Structure 1
């Protein structure tokens, strides 16, 4: 499979001040290290090798609408029996996502162009950057092995590059370049799997740092919600299509919560393979995922720093009722001995921690080296504040300091609507509407004036009830007086398409 592609765009200028003569023209801040950018689930474009057609990530917004609202729009992505048996190659990854895409429940997938361009400003040559695209349908363990092989080839090639020698001349001790992984969402799990010493015993030692952006190390309740979508309740066609796609997808099962997340019988326990089957998933894949995560606990991420989204309403626990998943925006908290915090009546107490809208905060943290930013999951690899944190880590070999605080606000909005019909948008943690702005832009027609819905107080919550004029992909952008920007993607379809019949 075509698992890796090197970005060839010329790096933008990074300094207006001429570099000192002894740096051979390279700015002082550039690193001698090799960087590997690893995207999240749905973040790589995929092509069907049997037909030659791209099946994900290539095409305009009209393609997205057809893919999600026509019954057979994404059938090529479904896992085959051969693929489940380990015979891969029918689908190949052709590159990182270059345009905004949309996925139910995940509120869209932003392109990685800005992240890659930011990385390019901190390296000695574009050849130092590897964009690792992968088939995100497959098990994380499979993609981890492929990443280990690709990272080793990349580092070897970079150390032989003339720009590597030049970059070493102005770095402390003139040390040889090492690897830095910059990984978004599932990409962090793939990176951890790649650093398993059983793949390459020297790869950890050759890694200077790992930067994870919204990685669900302990899983995400939304993965369970996706598997249960459409069981016993009417839901939009795109959401049911995603459930059908993911029911036998190993990659999605690898994202199921591995912490005690299921409320049952007055307690909170781990999901079991039987539970996963009850909500529409695959017991064997759930069992494999649990074993995989258990084995990952001993793997060290060298120089690990987490960029974690906060302030966004995020599912933490769930209840299963007749195959239907009821997600909860709060979760149980454990003492150091593993027992759960309880009230005076011995009932489990629940706490609202929040997160990035997909991954709750505590699931995305492995060490104390954390930068908290008020961002949605898709934007944690694109927002300027996140890119600035990545730049500091790449350039300085040190953590960028204490967490940046929890300013900004929480954004709550549907991910799929009908054109010309109103829907509800709410902002959490807002004390005043002064200085808060909200814009909705049509990504297919950027020349059209943005919508600016009016915010008002409803039951103490800043609320707007906008509508969009036509089917398209839209970006909601909220700006708060403290300078924070929170964004989310929203897909609008023709009226009547939201509950259209599907093949399942």
Structure 2
């Protein structure tokens, strides 16, 4: 079906016509980790991505709720036909540490509004448990097929005739989170030597090009802290996932006394990961350093409290909301006594700013990681880039606010919402509602310990969206999972 074509809209006077502002290019949407639904072809069951809060609660609070995600020995050896990725997530989801994920519906709709026909859009669902290099190869193959098919589509020629240069379509990748790493892997010339030349632009949304400390926290789940989740199972399943190891930080983040260094495979093993997968991830990132992203534009979340470094004590990860920085000469910045200086550059709550703000053009937005692909300002950037316009960044003014909420809360137990980056209650509004838009409340914001906070509680289990609107027009959101008290404890 032709969504736009060279549609003509007559003016009020009926004397002139306006061509719809659409691109002739082929667009590929690449989701992040846990952003694709997964289907087990053996059991004929969806193992990740079912709709409904009851499924989420079962998956994350029952001892066997995650077992189907464990990679089998055959899958680790490369025989990966058991699991099929069916589509991009169409509803809100949640996972510990990475917290809430908004659906890709708004992003998909924004892309469709910019293309000549729905056939110009490829939604690349993939098995995010597997190595990024494997999914990159599959994406390269899928993107080549997509571009070839679109160039043969009747709507393609109609669209290009109404563009200034009348050129044939090229590819535009719109990638969220891990999807940016998969896209970079796809554009490695070893997969398709011409794919980079056939790509006009790559837009990455919160992509951890240098990894994320939160990946270490997931591998270390339950060690040394009373996290209300099935600890042993979550930790052991995570240890089998190459995709998660590909998200480990690839920069100097491990604090040892008065020095900072990169993680080694033995470090990863000590916190619950797999040494071979960690080494493979490090090798992969090293080889990717030469891959350039054509027309790269990065959207990076800012102002959110984000883990940036860690130390390891007795096998327990102790993460920090700060990190060391280097002089231009390469040495770490130190105080007059030679001690390390630490800086908090924040980020999107999952990916710290310097890991996502990579490339010649960067748009900073005060957003949480799970919402960076659905926010209206980010989607406006997507539309402008697809239409060949130069995106000038977010509206000027104060940069929204930081939002901190717990991963998981118990029904009936009070919990805290904390804001940062704002110094006045004026114009602030906070609202909580379940993802269905029901059970809403407006908690009262006030000052406490030098920060703006609110104490609240929910009475029904479910997935809740916390929304904060600031006086400058920014909206920051995060998802919180609420379960019945005591239903998710497991002796570790």
Q: TM > 0.5 between the two?
A: yes
Runs of 4+ with deviation above 6 angstroms: 12-16
Q: Which of 454, 461, 479 matches 2:451? A: 461
Task: Provide the residue aligned with 1:399 in structure 2.
Answer: 390
Task: Provide the residue aligned with 1:285 in structure 2.
Answer: 277
Report the 3-state secondary structure (helix = DSSP H, G, I; strand = E; otherwise coil) of the residue aligned with 1:67: helix
Kindly provide the CA deviation profile for residues 187-226 of structure 1, in whole angstroms up to 9, marking residues without a partner as x. 0000000000011000000000000000000000000111
Task: Provide the residue aligned with 1:475 in structure 2.
Answer: 465
Task: Provide the residue aligned with 1:88 in structure 2.
Answer: 80
**Structure 1: distance between partners of 2:172 and 2:79:** 31
- Given that 2:296 and 2:360 are in contact with CA atoms closer than 8 Å, whether structure 1 keeps it comes out as no
**Structure 2: distance between partners of 1:14 and 1:495:** 58
**Structure 2: distance between partners of 1:327 and 1:469:** 32
**Structure 2: distance between partners of 1:169 and 1:209:** 21
TM-score by length of 1: 0.93
**Structure 1: distance between partners of 2:371 and 2:426:** 24
- Given that 1:32 and 1:177 are in contact with CA atoms closer than 8 Å, whether structure 2 keeps it comes out as yes
Task: Provide the residue aligned with 1:344 in structure 2.
Answer: 336
**Structure 1: distance between partners of 2:482 and 2:393:** 40
Kindly provide the CA deviation profile for residues 132-163 of structure 1, in whole angstroms up to 9, marking residues without a partner as x. 00000000000000000000000000000011
- Given that 2:251 and 2:262 are in contact with CA atoms closer than 8 Å, whether structure 1 keeps it comes out as yes
Report the 3-state secondary structure (helix = DSSP H, G, I; strand = E; otherwise coil) of the residue aligned with 2:385: helix
- Given that 1:19 and 1:28 are in contact with CA atoms closer than 8 Å, whether structure 2 keeps it comes out as no
- 1:413-428, aligned counterparts within 5 Å? 413-428=405-420
- Identify the range of structure 1 (161-170 vs 224-233) with the bigger mean alpha-carbon deviation: 224-233
Report the 3-state secondary structure (helix = DSSP H, G, I; strand = E; otherwise coil) of the residue aligned with 1:431: coil
Structure 1: 5+ residue stretches without partners: 1-7
Report the 3-state secondary structure (helix = DSSP H, G, I; strand = E; otherwise coil) of the residue aligned with 1:102: strand
Report the 3-state secondary structure (helix = DSSP H, G, I; strand = E; otherwise coil) of the residue aligned with 1:62: helix
Offset at 1:398? 4.2
- Given that 1:369 and 1:399 are in contact with CA atoms closer than 8 Å, whether structure 2 keeps it comes out as no
Task: Provide the residue aligned with 2:255 in structure 1.
Answer: 263
- 1:273-422, aligned counterparts within 5 Å? 273-395=265-387, 397-402=388-393, 404=395, 407-422=399-414
- Given that 1:425 and 1:465 are in contact with CA atoms closer than 8 Å, whether structure 2 keeps it comes out as yes
TM-score by length of 2: 0.96
User: How large is the RMSD of aligned CA atoms in angstroms?
Assistant: 2.0
**Residue 186, structure 1, aligned to residue 178, structure 2:** yes
Offset at 1:365? 2.0
Kindly provide the CA deviation profile for residues 84-115 of structure 1, in whole angstroms up to 9, marking residues without a partner as x. 11111111100000111111111111110110
**Structure 2: distance between partners of 1:241 and 1:312:** 29
- 1:413-452, aligned counterparts within 5 Å? 413-444=405-436, 446=437, 448-452=438-442
Offset at 1:276? 0.3
- Identify the range of structure 1 (236-245 vs 178-187) with the bigger mean alpha-carbon deviation: 236-245
**Structure 2: distance between partners of 1:311 and 1:14:** 42
**Structure 1: distance between partners of 2:5 and 2:154:** 19
**Structure 2: distance between partners of 1:342 and 1:431:** 30
Q: Which of 131, 140, 144 matches 1:152? A: 144
**Residue 118, structure 1, aligned to residue 131, structure 2:** no
Task: Provide the residue aligned with 1:3 in structure 2.
Answer: none
Task: Provide the residue aligned with 1:5 in structure 2.
Answer: none
Offset at 1:59? 2.8
- Given that 2:178 and 2:207 are in contact with CA atoms closer than 8 Å, whether structure 1 keeps it comes out as yes
Offset at 1:403? 6.0
Offset at 1:500? 3.5
CA, structure 1 residues 82+324, in 2 after alignment: closer, same or farther (shift >3 Å)? Answer: same
Kindly provide the CA deviation profile for residues 310-348 of structure 1, in whole angstroms up to 9, marking residues without a partner as x. 000001111111111111111111122221111101111
- 1:26-41, aligned counterparts within 5 Å? 27-41=19-33
Offset at 1:12? 8.7
Q: Which of 149, 155, 167 matches 2:159? A: 167
**Structure 1: distance between partners of 2:451 and 2:85:** 43
Offset at 1:401? 2.1
Report the 3-state secondary structure (helix = DSSP H, G, I; strand = E; otherwise coil) of the residue aligned with 1:477: strand
Kindly provide the CA deviation profile for residues 424-449 of structure 1, in whole angstroms up to 9, marking residues without a partner as x. 110001111111011111124x2x34
CA, structure 1 residues 459+385, in 2 after alignment: closer, same or farther (shift >3 Å)? Answer: same
**Structure 2: distance between partners of 1:496 and 1:66:** 14
**Structure 2: distance between partners of 1:282 and 1:429:** 38
Task: Provide the residue aligned with 1:135 in structure 2.
Answer: 127
Kindly provide the CA deviation profile for residues 345-372 of structure 1, in whole angstroms up to 9, marking residues without a partner as x. 1111111100000000000022130111
Offset at 1:233? 3.0
Offset at 1:497? 2.1
Query: What is the number of equivalent residue pairs in this alignment?
Result: 487
